[in-house]
Amino acid sequence: KNEVEQSPQNLTAQEGEFITINCSYSVGISALHWLQQHPGGGIVSLFMLSSGKKKHGRLIATINIQEKHSSLHITASHPRDSAVYICAVRPPTSGSRLTFGEGTQLTVNP
Amino acid sequence: NAGVMQNPRHLVRRRGQEARLRCSPMKGHSHVYWYRQLPEEGLKFMVYLQKENIIDESGMPKERFSAEFPKEGPSILRIQQVVRGDSAAYFCASARTATDTQYFGPGTRLTVL
């Protein structure tokens, strides 16, 4: 079993829909990251969080440390949000390297 | 305010050749990480370096792979005697400190013929 599990693996939505991507992890962590990988392959860091909630534009990330669970929400989704969204954790015993989920492929149709 | 730079963006090598991948971290960042993404797979940690030191190389294959981050110049990931299974996207990330956000470069896509 992977240390980081994401669901769903694939998600198709219509423009304007509210989207949720989930991440569960089985290890203690010092921080959790949400990343976006564009169709061209580049990776952008969206959020780093260790508690609570963060918001940036239409993106919201939440984390529940007790339940070892995080969610990424996208409000008013747009076709340009189509990408792979990756959850990554930094266990406190691993130094600062990241352990990644397999990613969620999001497609937003116009 | 340039981001993390990687070059080359695409690299083609024949089996048995050497591949050198370069990563220039963001200004002010002294922590560099290399990750590999095999086709149809997720990202995997390879090595973590801080100027002139390898901090954690537990994700790097024991043979043929090496990494360095000299006092001056970019970090280098070197793969000797490449094999087809080395074909992948190699991403570098940098951070200002060990606990800061890691910023990713555009990646180098290595194809071994």
pLDDT digits (tens, 9 = 90+) for A38-53: 877 789 999 999 999 9
Predicted pLDDT at B1: 53
Cα distance from N-terminal residue to C-terminal residue, chain A:
36
Q: Is the peptide bond before A79 cis (omega within 30 degrees of 0)?
A: no
Minimal Cβ distance to A41: which of B31, B89, B102: B89
Chain A residues whose beta carbon lies within 8 Å of the beta carbon of residue B101: 33, 45, 48
The CA distance from B18 to the nearest CA of chain A, in Å, is 24
Find the mean pLDDT for residues B73-81.
97
CB A47 within 8 A of CB A33: yes
Backbone φ and ψ of A81, nearest 5°: -80, -10
pLDDT level of residue A96 (50, 70, 90 thresholds): confident
The number of residues in chain B equals: 113
Give A-chain residues touching B96 at CB under 8 angstroms.
none
* Whether the predicted pLDDT of A1 surpasses 90: no
Q: In the beta sheet, which residues pair with residue A43? A: A37
Contacts of B33 in chain A (CB under 8 A): 96-98
| Cβ pair B106:A41 closer than 8 A | yes
* Cα–Cα distances in angstroms (integers) from residue A54 to residues A29, A38, A46, A58, A82, in the given order: 17, 21, 10, 11, 21
> pLDDT band for position B2 (50/70/90)?
confident
Q: Give the pLDDT score at A94.
A: 62
C-beta atoms of B45 and A96 within 8 A: no
- Please answer yes or no on whether B48 and A96 come within 8 Å at the CB atom: yes
- Say whether B43 and A44 touch across the interface (CB within 8 A): no
